[in-house]
Chain A
C-alpha cells in the first residue's frame, strides 16, 4: 500500500477550517496514559466537558509503569502532622534544590488528591475503625504515607483507568507511538504518531499537548524501570526546543534484586527491615545516619533518604564489606524478625517477588539487594502549573521537573506528584486550549517530512550494519560509568565522548523488520534515539555541576556549594546537536538552606519563616 496515501496534502481552500487535514483534531492531547496522564485527562474533562481530549499512549494505559509502584503515597491527614513538616522533609530530602513554592502547593493539594482517588474507589489500606491507614517512609519525620497493601501504584493506576472509562470526551489512542511534536509559530500544535497495529503514520493536532511519558531509567543498564521508560517525552520536548532541568539527578533506590533489578519497596524498611553487610552488621550507622534501634526510627538508619543509603553501599563496597555475586556485589535485607504474619499482611508482594525471582523466602532468609536506578528527578522544565517555556506544551509526572524533588526524591512523594501536577497541568492546558483557535494545516508538511524520515532512516533503508541492542548496551554502560552514584570529571567526559560516537553510529543502524504491522524493532530504534538524546543531557549536566548535592556526588568536588549552585541546571539543545547548560536559581520561600541531618540529631525541626501575608 503506498504510504504517501496515508498522509494527504492539504486540499486548497480548507486551510482555514479547524479540522486537521488528517481527520483527527483535539483540544488537549496527552502523550502517555499513566498516573499523571490519566489524572490530567480527567482534570481537563472536568474543567470543560465540551473539550475533546485525546490520550495517546504507546501501551495500553494499565501497562504504564505507574502500575509497578509499591510503597505508598504521602499526604498529611493525621492530626499530629502538619503541611509545614511534610514540606520541610521534602525540601531537606531534596538537599534544598526544591522550588519551595511548588513544594508548598504540593503538600497542600496532595491529601485532597488522595482523598479524591479514594472517592473514585481506590482500595487504600485502613485502620480497624475504617479510616485511612498511614505508615512511615524513608526521610519522613511523621507517618504520612497512604498505602494499598504493597501495590499502591497498581491500585491507583487501575482506579484512574477505570474512572476515565466513564468520561465520554476522552478518546484513547492505545498503542500509538509519538515520534515528534508538531511546532509552528513558536507553539506546539500536536504530534506525529505511528499506529503500531497498522503502521500508519498520522498527525494528531491539538491546541495543547501534555507530556506524561514518565522517566528514563532504561538509559542505565540496571534499573527497576520497565522496558517502556525511555525518556520519550523528555527527548520530544528537548528536540522541540523546550529545556530540560536537573538532568544530572538520578535516583538510585538502595534495595533492588540483583540480575532482574526488581524493586524491593522501601516499605520493607519502613516496617522494620535491617540492612546488613557481609558480617551481619547494620552498616548504615557508620554513615551519619543515626544509631541502630530494634524498631524503625523515622529519618534514621534504614529510614534515611535513598541517596545517602545508596552512597553508603558504594563506600561499604569499596571497603570490601559487601557480598560478591555473579550479578554484582550485594548487601542483605533482613526481614526475618518481622514474622510471617506482618510480612503476609503488609508485604505480600515483596514475599511473592523474592520467592519467584530469587527463590528466597524473606520470612526465613536474607534477601540480597543492591542499589538500582529507579527515578529521574530531572525532566522537562515546568512551572508550578505544568507549563513549559514552549507555548502549548505542558508536562506532569516523572517526565517533568517542577521541581519538588530537588536533588533527591523522598519515597512516596512521586505518586501524589503525578496526581497533583497532573491535575494542575490538565487544568492549565484546558484553559489554554479554550482560548486558542484550532491549529491550521501548516503542520501537515512537518508530518509528511517526519514520515519520510522514518522511511528513509529506518524502514526502507538498506546497507546499515549497527544493531540496536549493541548500541543500547554500550550507551547504558557508558552512562553508568560516567553518571553513576559517584562521578568525576574524567569518567563523565569519557562518557560524553562515547555518547557522541554512539549518536554517529546510530545513523548506520539496520533493522531486520521492515514490516508495517506492529513493528517493535522500529519502536526500539526510535526509543534508542530518544535515549541517546536524554543520556547526552544527563552527562552534560553532570559535567557542569561542580559540587556534590543529593544524588549528584562528585568525588572531585565533594562539598555542597550553595554560593554557586543553589540553582537548577537547565539544558537546551543547540542547532548542531550539542547542548548548552545554564543555571536557574531555586525559589526559596520560607526554609533557608541548612544541613541535611538524619539520625538522632533530627529531634528539633528548624523553624520555618512565618508565612508572609500579601500586603
Chain B
C-alpha cells in the first residue's frame, strides 16, 4: 500500500473568499483509517482552520456527510484504502445542493423545516395514558415501517437528488420516508393530516424516481421506495374517493409553503 495519499479539500471562508477553492494535503495511509481520520489528522497537525462536522465516528449520528470524489458519503465509514487503488487522490467537498456555511459545513435549517412539515410524530385521536399499557404491535406490524425508521438524517439523499438541486422547495426523500414511517406505523392515525404536504406537487409528485437517494443511503432506508409507495396509495385513495366520498376527511389543498 502507498505511504501517502493526497486529499483535495474544498475551502471557503466567507470573510475572505467569494467562492470556494481547493487545497491539497498529504496524509499518511493506514489500513484502518477512514476519510474522517485523515481530516482529523489535517486539522490536528497541519491546518487547524479546516472546518467540518463529526461526532460519533460509527455511522449513526449522521453529522459527517460530505462529497468524496463526487459521491455523497459518510466520511466516518469511507476507508482511505479504497481510494489508494483508484488513483491515490481524494476530492472532498461539502454536500451538494446545500448552501455552504464554511469549508465542508452545509446549512441545514431548510432540511429541518422540511422534516417538521410532514408532522413526524405519532398522531392519535384517543388519549391513552401510559399507565394503561402499551399499544400492541406485532413483529409483522413493526416490520411494515421499520426500514423507514432507520434514517439518521445524514442528508446524503438530498445531495444525490437532482430534483432537490433544481427545485429547492421539493420536500425531499428523507422527509417523505419519515412521513411514511409514521403513516405505516399501525399505532398512527395521522395519515390524513400528512396528506396535504405529501400529495402535493412539491411533495411526492415532485419526485421523478431518479433513484439516487436509495443508492446512496448508508442505512438502506430506501426513500425512493417510500415515495413510490405513497404515490400508489395516493392514487388509490383518490380513486376510492369517487366511490365513497369521505366528507369531513376531504383533502385540504394547502400551499407547501406554510
Residues on A lying within 8 angstroms of B by beta carbon are 59-60, 62-65, 67-68, 112-113, 115-116, 118-121, 123-132, 151, 154-155, 158, 162-163, 165-166, 174, 197, 226-228, 259-260, 262-263, 353, 356-357, 467-469, 511-513, 515-521
Bound CA span A123–B182, Å: 11
The reply to whether B121 and A121 form a contact with Cβ atoms under 8 Å apart is yes
The reply to whether B48 and A512 form a contact with Cβ atoms under 8 Å apart is yes
Among all A-B residue pairs, the 10 with the closest Cβ atoms: A130-B136, A512-B48, A469-B44, A513-B49, A121-B122, A115-B130, A116-B130, A518-B102, A226-B55, A226-B56
Chain B residue with the shortest CB-CB distance to A472: B44
Contact A132 to B58, CB < 8 A, known contacts A121-B121, A520-B51: no
Chain-A contact segment, one of B60-68, B163-171, B227-235, B240-248:
B60-68
Bound CA span A64–B187, Å: 27
Q: Is B149 part of the contact surface with A, judged by Cβ < 8 Å? A: yes
**What distance in Å separates the Cβ of A48 from its nearest Cβ neighbour in chain B?**
19
The reply to whether B152 and A353 form a contact with Cβ atoms under 8 Å apart is no
The reply to whether B48 and A513 form a contact with Cβ atoms under 8 Å apart is yes
Contacts A/B (CB < 8 Å), 22 sampled: A62-B61, A65-B61, A112-B131, A113-B130, A118-B130, A120-B121, A120-B122, A121-B185, A121-B188, A123-B146, A126-B138, A126-B139, A126-B142, A128-B138, A162-B120, A165-B121, A226-B61, A262-B58, A357-B58, A513-B48, A517-B102, A521-B49
For A227, the chain B residues whose CB sits under 8 A away are 54-57
The reply to whether B55 and A131 form a contact with Cβ atoms under 8 Å apart is no
The reply to whether A123 and B142 form a contact with Cβ atoms under 8 Å apart is yes
Contact A121 to B187, CB < 8 A, known contacts A67-B61, A112-B131: yes
The reply to whether A129 and B61 form a contact with Cβ atoms under 8 Å apart is no
Bound CA span A263–B100, Å: 33
Q: Is B108 part of the contact surface with A, judged by Cβ < 8 Å? A: yes
**Residue of B101, B121, B185 with highest tally of chain A CB at under 10 A:** B121
The reply to whether A59 and B13 form a contact with Cβ atoms under 8 Å apart is no
**Residue of A127, A469, A516, A517 with highest tally of chain B CB at under 10 A:** A517
The reply to whether A59 and B138 form a contact with Cβ atoms under 8 Å apart is no
Taking A67-B60, A228-B55, A511-B48 as given, write out 19 further A-B residue pairs in contact, using a Cβ cutoff of 8 Å, ordered by the A residue number.
A64-B61, A65-B55, A65-B56, A68-B60, A112-B131, A119-B135, A121-B182, A125-B139, A126-B137, A129-B138, A130-B136, A163-B122, A165-B115, A226-B55, A356-B59, A468-B44, A513-B49, A515-B49, A518-B101
Residues on B lying within 8 angstroms of A by beta carbon are 13-16, 32, 43-45, 47-49, 51-63, 77, 101-103, 105, 107-108, 112, 115-116, 119-122, 128, 130-131, 133-139, 141-142, 145-146, 149-150, 152-153, 178, 182, 185, 187-188
**What distance in Å separates the Cβ of B87 from its nearest Cβ neighbour in chain A?**
23
Chain B residue with the shortest CB-CB distance to A229: B55
For B128, the chain A residues whose CB sits under 8 A away are 119
Contact A68 to B56, CB < 8 A, known contacts A515-B13, A517-B14, A517-B101: yes
Partner of B142, one of A113, A125, A151, A467: A125
Chain A residue with the shortest CB-CB distance to B63: A63
Contact A162 to B121, CB < 8 A, known contacts A227-B55, A521-B43: yes
Bound CA span A40–B60, Å: 23
Bound CA span A154–B137, Å: 20
The reply to whether A518 and B105 form a contact with Cβ atoms under 8 Å apart is yes
Bound CA span A260–B57, Å: 8
Chain A residue with the shortest CB-CB distance to B108: A60
For A356, the chain B residues whose CB sits under 8 A away are 59, 77
**What distance in Å separates the Cβ of A3 from its nearest Cβ neighbour in chain B?**
13
For A62, the chain B residues whose CB sits under 8 A away are 61-62, 152-153
Chain A residue with the shortest CB-CB distance to B77: A356
**What distance in Å separates the Cβ of A217 from its nearest Cβ neighbour in chain B?**
12
Chain A residue with the shortest CB-CB distance to B141: A130
The reply to whether A130 and B137 form a contact with Cβ atoms under 8 Å apart is yes
For B136, the chain A residues whose CB sits under 8 A away are 129-131
For B63, the chain A residues whose CB sits under 8 A away are 59-60, 63
The reply to whether B56 and A119 form a contact with Cβ atoms under 8 Å apart is no
Bound CA span A131–B153, Å: 29
The reply to whether A112 and B14 form a contact with Cβ atoms under 8 Å apart is no
Bound CA span A59–B64, Å: 12
The reply to whether A260 and B32 form a contact with Cβ atoms under 8 Å apart is yes
For A162, the chain B residues whose CB sits under 8 A away are 120-121, 178
Contact A166 to B121, CB < 8 A, known contacts A62-B62, A63-B61: yes
For A519, the chain B residues whose CB sits under 8 A away are 51
Bound CA span A552–B135, Å: 42
For A226, the chain B residues whose CB sits under 8 A away are 55-57, 61
The reply to whether A130 and B56 form a contact with Cβ atoms under 8 Å apart is no
Contact A63 to B55, CB < 8 A, known contacts A129-B136, A131-B134: yes
The reply to whether A115 and B131 form a contact with Cβ atoms under 8 Å apart is yes
The reply to whether A118 and B135 form a contact with Cβ atoms under 8 Å apart is yes
**What distance in Å separates the Cβ of A253 from its nearest Cβ neighbour in chain B?**
14
Contact A515 to B138, CB < 8 A, known contacts A112-B131, A260-B57: no
Bound CA span A521–B136, Å: 49
For A115, the chain B residues whose CB sits under 8 A away are 130-131, 133-134
For A132, the chain B residues whose CB sits under 8 A away are 134
**What distance in Å separates the Cβ of A35 from its nearest Cβ neighbour in chain B?**
13
